[in-house]
Amino acid sequence: MKSTTLGVFVLAVFVAGTGTAAAQVNKPAVQTSIIANEKAINDAIVKGDLKTFHSFLAPEAIDVEDSGVKKLPDIDKMLADVKISSYTITADQFLWLDDTNVVHTYKWFGKMTYKGEAGPGDTFATTIWSNRGGKWLAVYHQETMVPPPPAARPAAAAKPASPK
């Protein structure tokens, strides 16, 4: 009997130590939350609310865009000159790296200005989210402009009928 009790105890410690007894991540719920977080970040930018903006970012978060790699102090400076009048987030896709890190890609369509000049408007965006102590925080964000559609090719002229 002692060996059975000891065996159960050792098995319980092993299972707890390997994490197989840990609760499974509800990925659909996390993904819904991340989409809401992306919208909350954009809403905070629209309102110029850096406190709310920062509440969704890890302190070491970085942003990569055409102008280079930026850490939070540089992002804050840039956001002072960003004005978003409307936006839509669509085509959400998720790539789970593990149970605590997920890549969110999406299309961002909107109207914005940077230092008074029209911004790119439409971008493909990627944010990497990391679960830090039960809270999902953005650690990396990158944007790429959606290229304009190719110019229409002129219709080929009809060949004249060949003489017979």
**Where is 141: in which H helix or E strand?**
strand 135-145
Q: Which of 81, 79, 91, 78 is nearest to 44 (CA)?
A: 79
Q: CA triplet 85, 91, 97: central angle to 5 degrees?
A: 115
pLDDT per residue over 104-126, tens digit each?
999 999 888 888 888 877 899 99
Domain 24-145 sits in CATH 3.10.450.50: yes
What amino acid is encoded at 99 in this protein? Answer: D
DSSP for residue 115 = T
pLDDT at 11 over 90: no
pLDDT, tens digit, 9 for 90 and up, residues 64-85: 988 889 998 999 888 888 889 8
pTM of the model: 0.75
Domain positions in the chain are 24-145
